[in-house]
Every structure is written in C-alpha cells, then in structure tokens.
Structure 1
Amino acid sequence: MNRKPIIGITGAYVNHNFHMEGVYVHHDYHNTVAANGGLPIILPYIDPQLAIESVALCDGIILSGGEDVDPQFYQQDPHPNIGQTIPERDLSEIALVHYALEHNIPLLAICRGVQILNVALGGTLIQDIPTQCEAPIKHSQTIQRNKDSHFVKVSLDSKLYQMLGHTTVRVNSLHHQAIDRLAPTLKQTAVSSDGIIEAVEYIHDSHFTVGVQWHPESMAKSNSMMNRLFETFIQSCIISDKTNIKSYKVF
C-alpha cells in the first residue's frame, strides 16, 4: 500500500502563558491536509540547517501564516505599524524555500507564506497596507476566518485558474502586509481591486510552487474551489530523492 504523502507545515509562535509557549499551527491547516489524503507534520523553526534537514523528509511543504516578516531581509527599516517579527523563523523558511525549489518539492505558500516566498527570492513587501497604499480595501477582516470578504481576479494563464476554474473568486483576508516588488522568478496570478498581489506562481511550470495571500485552509471545508488547491497540491507531492542535504549560506 502506498503511504500518504508527508506534508510539512511551517509553524508560527504562540505564548499562552509563562509555562506554555512554542510552535503553533491553526488546526485548519492540518485538518485540510488530512482530509485530502496527506499526513500533516508541524515543522518548528530552529535554525536554517535543521529546516533543510526537516524539509528533506517531506513530500510537500506548506508555508503557513503568522508573524510579519522582518524587513531586514529585504533591506528596509521597520515601519511604525509593523507587528511581531521572528528573524529565526524568517531565516529557516528562506533556507527551506531555496531547498524546496532546488529539489522540486511542491510548495504551497499561504498568507505570510507568500510574503516570505517573495522575500526569499529577492522581492520586497508593503509593510502596512492601510498607511502605505492609496485607497486600499479592507484586507484584515473582522468576520470569521472561514467567511469570504472580498473579490480577487485570477489570471487565465495560471495553475491557480486551472484549479479554481474561475477568473473572479471571493476570498477571506487576514493580513496587513503584502507583496510590493515581485521577485524576478515569480509571476503574479491574482490581484484584488486595489492592486494588491493576491497570488503568485514560480515561473518554471515543472514546479508546483503556488502562493496565495488569503487562507484557503479555512474555507476548504465548505468551499470546493478552495479545497481543490489542497487536493491538487497533495496529488503533486510524489516521493522524490531527498538524500542530498546541503548547507546553505543565509543572511
């Protein structure tokens, strides 16, 4: 019997109290992975080399949401409205991105995930949409995270369109940062009405590297379009050679 593909999900950070703190992943991620035939595991951030060793054990990677990306990694100073940053997580995920792309490990980047993907490949971020963008729509919704709150336009020539089957879709939205300058090896595949980049893909078609700014894991249970993102991603997570673990020079 074929084993289930192992899907590594990068962890954020939570502090419940003085005695309870550590790596955190919203249950919608692992529930949706499991519902689509994957075996979810949580990847803690420790250091870049251990991040590479952990991803080498996985058949696919989800870059999850969470804290803001430290602007030092795209050569900027912090905006006054920047939130919590964890440089250790950023460094681990930057190394993870490069390893996954070099070894053709499928990658699904979600919310913060699409931002760190862009930074890892040489792009920059809008640090605070409400104060740095002209006439922005509301990107940080106050309704339940499984509810949609705005439209995005999807490019016809994209993997995203092949999965969703529509050029206009409704998405949820839980972010105040977004992609600014797009990395040269990524292409824009969806945009909101105020011009915010809502989805990207790696320019090499042989790779499954898709990033979305919304949270499809929280919509997937009741939205078949969003579930197809996970269904297609997990189907792409075939077993490959993961024995060549290398060290990477990081920041």
Structure 2
Amino acid sequence: MTAPVIGVCTAFEVANWGFWTQQAAIIPATYLSKIHAAGGIPLGLIPDTSAVANPGLLVDRIDGLLLIGGVDVEPSSYGATDNGRTEATEPLRDEFELTLAREALRRDVPVLGVCRGMQILNVAAGGTLHQHLLDAGYAEHRPSQGKLNHETFHEVEVDCGTHAAMLCGSGIQTVNSHHHQGVDQLGSGAVVTARSLPDQLPEAIEWPDHRYVLGVQWHPEAAELQHALTDFIDNAAHALGGNH
C-alpha cells in the first residue's frame, strides 16, 4: 500500500541548531515519529498568505491533515472579543489553519486536531471557545505550565464506537491534556465523543458525516503507545488519491 502523505501544520518559533538561533517553522518530533510508526509520510505545512488565498494548492498534495497544539486561537476568529484571558496568539497561523481545515472538511479529507487543533476544527465549523476554563466553571486543565507530566493526566469518558475510542479505548480512560481554553458552542456537524471527569468538558469532538474528522484535547503523540495514530493514518491511506 502506498504511504499516505500527512500534512502537518507548523508553528513559527525561535529555535537553536549548530551555531544558529533563528526563527523556524517547527513540528515537535513526537508527531513525526508517530506518523512514521503508523505508516505515513509527514509533510510540514508553513503558514502562508498565498495558501490562505488558494488552500487547494496544499490540500491537493496531502491525504490527511494534522493540526497540532500551540498558542491560543484569536477570539475574533469565532466572533468574540478578547476578554483579557486569551494569551499569546498567532493570527496568520490561525487564518492558515482555519482555511486548510475548512477546505479539508469540504473535500472530506481525513483530519486529526490535537489540543489547539481540536479548537481550530471547532472554530472552522462555526463553533466557539471558552477563553479561560476556570472562568466558565470548569476544573484546572493546565496544572503545570508548559509540561506534560503526571499532573496533566486525568480521566475522560469516551463513547464506544467512535474514532476517539479507536485512539485510546472506550469508557473511562486516562489521558494527558494541557490547556486553559476549550470548546464552548459546537461547530456545525460536530458531536462530543469524550468528556473530562468530573467537570464534563468536551475532550473529543468528531463529525459523523465525514470519513474521519476528529479533534482531541489530549496529546496522543505523547503517549507511550507507539501506534497511537494508526486509525488516522489508515483512514488517510484509504482516502489516497480521492482528494486530488
């Protein structure tokens, strides 16, 4: 079987290599290793205004889209004003990823959104976000700043027979999420398929009318399970050639 090409959205960050310290388009290595382990070929997608104008140029070249974690989504993207609780944002990255997500949804290209990526998917479909979970009455979902460790593991309840269940199992599961924003109003066509315990915050959403569109607040790429992304990659493989 031909390996599917997975477009992975990158983030601009200052990075060090050799003698150099420069702004770079980065992808955490854990995403890349999990894509390779599941039989896919990762392709970095760099935020660019030309792609915003014509997203088909990129979507033509991929068999699946992976939206990774990162900074907060700009509130204006979902029709809100910044209430002072939104932290760092990257407007170009938002516009780029929202445009690609909408094009992928239109073409029924398999999509997996992780953490921020789940929020991007929801906004792309017309949904909204809570700018700060504690203000909305939810529990703390970011106990340690910038780290995935024992403090970030918590329980979720996952619906059986869903893509989320293929990712981590159904029923009560332990996952590792790290975020201070979350899904408020669901985007068009989305359903909640996993909820955090005990506060019932949506931790996974998917689109049953699509081949494979899943967003999770947790980080499957950081899990010890080597083939955590197999279901996503398999769906991208079955879609090979049908998106172009």
Q: Could you say which TM-score interval applies, normalised by the shorter chain?
A: 0.7 to 0.9
Partner of 1:202: 207
CA contact (8 A) 2:122 2:186 kept: yes
TM-score, length-scaled by structure 1? 0.86
| Deviating more after overlay: 12-21 vs 25-34 | 12-21
CA contact (8 A) 2:55 2:100 kept: yes
Q: How much does 1:41 deviate?
A: 1.3
Check if 1:113 corresponds to 2:112: no
Distance 1:45 1:68, change over 3 A: same
SS of 1:236's equivalent? helix
Post-superposition shift, 1:157? 4.6
Query: Following superposition of structure 1 onto structure 2, how do residues 32-111 of structure 1 map, counting pairs within 5 Å?
Result: 32-47=34-49, 48-49=52-53, 51-111=55-115
CA contact (8 A) 1:146 1:218 kept: no
Q: State how far apart, in whole Å, the 2-side matches of 1:140 and 1:112 are.
A: 17
Shift of 1:166: 2.5
Report the residue type matching 2:69 in the other structure: G
Matches of 2:85 and 2:146 in 1, distance apart?
A: 22
Amino acid at match of 2:33: N
User: Gapped runs of 5+ residues in structure 1?
Assistant: 244-251
Question: Structure 2: which amino acid aligns with 1:129?
Answer: L
Query: Measured at CA, do residues 139 and 112 of structure 1 come closer, stay the same or move farther in structure 2, by a change above 3 Å?
Result: same
What residue number does 2:218 align with? 214
Contact 1:141 1:173 in 2 (8 A): no
Task: List alignment gaps of at least 5 residues for structure 2.
Answer: none
Q: How many residue pairs align between the two structures?
A: 235
Whether the aligned pair in 2 keeps the contact of 1:112 and 1:213 (CA below 8 Å) is: yes
Aligned equivalents of 1:144 and 1:66: distance in 2?
13
Quote the Cα distance in structure 2 between the aligned partners of 1:113 and 1:188.
Answer: 15
Corresponding position: 1:186 with 2:185: no
TM superposition shift of 1:217: 0.3
State percent identity of aligned pairs: 31
Deviation at 1:180, TM superposition (A): 0.8
Q: Distance in 1 between matches of 2:107 and 2:199?
A: 36
Q: Does 1:155 align with 2:154?
A: no
